[in-house]
Structure 1
Amino acid sequence: MFVYMNGSFVKKEEAVISPFDHGFLYGLGVFETFRIYNGHPFLLDDHLERLNASLRVLNIEAEFTREESAKILEGILAKNNLKDAYIRFNVSAGIAEIGLQTESYLEPNVIVFAKPLPQPGSMSEKKAVLLELRRNTPEGTERLKSHHYLNNVLAKREAGPDMGTEGIFLTSEGFLAEGIVSNIFWYRDGILFTPAVETGILNGITRRFVIALARNAGIEVREGFYKKEEAEEAHEIFLTNSIQEIVPVTDFSGKSFPGKSGELANLLFAEYSACRETLWSRTQLDGGVQT
């Protein structure tokens, strides 16, 4: 397997970074994970928009365009003989002296990983369980997709190794937040609900895309602060992330839900599936043209 590292494609065993990289020492790094469908990097513009914004927050002097990123992705697909793939696009601060730094990082480490994924099929299902561990607050004004992952790691240990189970965080105030690696939605009385970004969740790319899909279908979407009891009264619950797409829930907090037989989940999944190999951004759903 080959990875991209700072302008070159190298075997994964040869990809090394210095222990003085502040991504390693202090967690100063961010990443995006997304899927390649038949050679197309789905919603790449949206992922790069978030990545670039996060880099600015961390004072890492780097910015990625669609053109240069697509070239990297084409190369890593070719080197690994892939058409459908999982991508992790990772940028860490780079080498600096030990100690906290206030000036900008000028030479970040850019590493792009790829691994094969099967061609997309039907929706999978999961059981959702409430976690005892609470969601930590963002390190800054909003949550970044950063190297700070201890809260998620501890939550996964609590939820257990079963890939068919997703742990759901509450905030310290007891509001629904998000899954360990997902955002959560529920549907009741014709309205789609999801926790607001102001709860401290990651503003997922797939989260935003599904909100746009629902609104384009004429479904009212409400973002807010909700207690678990409100989701427990839903007709459907589903989870979203960029690798697993839309994942209907069969059981939450001991109550049963329709899973992949849910009408809204199927409607949104059909719309999602139709976009996988063409869209660069959710803005194209609103009539925007991006080529």
Structure 2
Amino acid sequence: MLQKFDERNRDLIVNINGQLVHRDKAGISPFDSAVQGGDAVWEGLRLYKGRIFKLHEHLDRLERSAKALSFAEIPAREKIMEEIKRTLAANKMRDGVHIRLTLTRGAKITSGMDPRLNQSGPTLIVLAEHKAPVYAKTGLTLITSKMRRPPPEVLDARIHHANLLNSILAKIEANNAGADDALMLDTRGFVAETNATHTFIVRNSDKSRASGDLATSRVVACPEGITRATVIEICAAEKIRCVETDLSVVDVYGAEEMFCTGTMGELAAVTKIDNRQIGDGKVGPMTKRLSELYAKRTVAPGFLFIRNAAGPVLEGFEVLRILLVIFLMIIFSGPKLHRRENFRDDRLFKFAGERELLF
């Protein structure tokens, strides 16, 4: 699987510490910690029809990772959200967008590993691209990498850091083998994740009802995935049994279905690993079912908004819902509605205290 260049991204505007610049002119200091030692944390976000999915869960993880690395300063959440908004506005983006959010320890006064040399605050980078989910929906091919994920006593995977050499080496193995990605094990020989995504397997399936038991690796040598957590939430809501446990490659080989999860690729089926076919070699019914349920969550209404005259007309249900909310608020003197304009002159309405971000 090799991503292709999207012509819409040729003239991207990138945000570096609040400065909006063309992608060809963007740059950071050679003294920045990301350059000197991969000393940074990051998040991948997705924009669906003006709404960033699980925004605050991602920002929570970013902050936890920065605290774990003892960053002396972390930008306020409101500041980060504002810079994301400015970047999307500058690029006139609203849907089908992937955002790479990176926070480095910042520039050093001189080369060196010591964090005390970082005396000018962190560097915040917002890179938004037009990017559809990157994995083919027809099924992925994996190999098992020789590279192992380190245990927590070496480097805790819950720190979402930007030093990705361990994953890059595994990806090189996959490329050389003609596979899409590489499955990575921990030092005990149990499944951690792939070089880029979390994994789930399906056992005891009933294809006629798209049912079965799901299993995924424990968070020991893999990070706390946001998409992974969403799938687990869906399973709980749909009463699908899902366990977090130690899985070996033998468990994977014997699975009836397998799929990967991640913000950049959403849910993607795995149909072959180490030249062994998974199930019948096709995208399974449980994978399809969960993909559909996940897609519904990404567009679930979190805000009420009305487009301007040039935009599409709201469906009848949305209009009725808006009128009902306004009516109830007038009658019961409920929370006030705040009104503002976005970069496309859309009229946006949201409840006071609402935490999500809409562009």
2:188 paired residue number:
173
What amino acid is aligned across from residue 229 of structure 1 in structure 2?
V
Whole-Å separation in 2 of the counterparts to 1:4 and 1:245: 25
Q: How many pairs were matched up?
A: 281
Which of 186, 199, 206 aligns to 2:201? It is: 186
**Partner-residue secondary structure (3-state), 1:134:** strand
1:10 aligns with 2:21: yes
Q: Identify the range of structure 1 (229-238 vs 72-81) with the bigger mean alpha-carbon deviation.
A: 72-81
Using a 3 Å threshold, how does the CA distance of structure 1 residues 274 and 14 change in structure 2: closer, same or farther? same
Which of 148, 155, 161 aligns to 2:170? It is: 155
1:272 paired residue number:
294
Which of 32, 38, 50 aligns to 2:49? It is: 38
Whole-Å separation in 1 of the counterparts to 2:282 and 2:43: 27
Whole-Å separation in 1 of the counterparts to 2:29 and 2:186: 36
For residues 154-211 of structure 1, give each alpha carbon's deviation from its aligned partner in whole angstroms, at most 9, with x where no partner exists: 111110079962210112221111101001100112321011012x112211111111
Report deviation, 1:264: 1.2
1:221 aligns with 2:242: yes
Report deviation, 1:151: 0.9
**Partner-residue secondary structure (3-state), 2:243:** strand
Superposition map of 1:104-123 within 5 A: 107-118=121-132, 123=137
Using a 3 Å threshold, how does the CA distance of structure 1 residues 217 and 277 change in structure 2: closer, same or farther? same
Using a 3 Å threshold, how does the CA distance of structure 1 residues 196 and 121 change in structure 2: closer, same or farther? closer
Alignment check: 8 A CA contact 1:48 1:64 kept: no
What amino acid is aligned across from residue 140 of structure 2 in structure 1?
K
Relative contact order higher in (CA < 8 Å, ≥ 6 apart): 1
1:239 aligns with 2:260: yes
Report deviation, 1:4: 0.9
Query: Where in structure 1 are there 5+ consecutive unaligned residues?
Result: 281-288
Which of 141, 151, 157 aligns to 1:127? It is: 141
Whole-Å separation in 1 of the counterparts to 2:137 and 2:80: 29
1:100 paired residue number:
113
Alignment check: 8 A CA contact 2:13 2:22 kept: yes
**Partner-residue secondary structure (3-state), 1:133:** strand
2:305 paired residue number:
none
Alignment check: 8 A CA contact 1:90 1:111 kept: yes
1:51 aligns with 2:62: yes
What amino acid is aligned across from residue 176 of structure 1 in structure 2?
V
Report deviation, 1:70: 3.6
Using a 3 Å threshold, how does the CA distance of structure 1 residues 171 and 118 change in structure 2: closer, same or farther? closer
- TM-score between both structures, scaled by the size of structure 1: 0.87
1:91 paired residue number:
103
Using a 3 Å threshold, how does the CA distance of structure 1 residues 150 and 185 change in structure 2: closer, same or farther? same
For the pair shown, which has the larger CA radius of gyration, 1 or 2? 2
Whole-Å separation in 2 of the counterparts to 1:4 and 1:163: 35
Whole-Å separation in 1 of the counterparts to 2:280 and 2:54: 29
2:277 paired residue number:
255
Query: Where in structure 2 are there 5+ consecutive unaligned residues?
Result: 1-11, 205-211, 303-353
Q: Identify the range of structure 1 (8-17 vs 200-209) with the bigger mean alpha-carbon deviation.
A: 8-17
What amino acid is aligned across from residue 44 of structure 2 in structure 1?
T
Whole-Å separation in 1 of the counterparts to 2:138 and 2:301: 23
Q: For the aligned residues, what is the CA RMSD?
A: 2.6
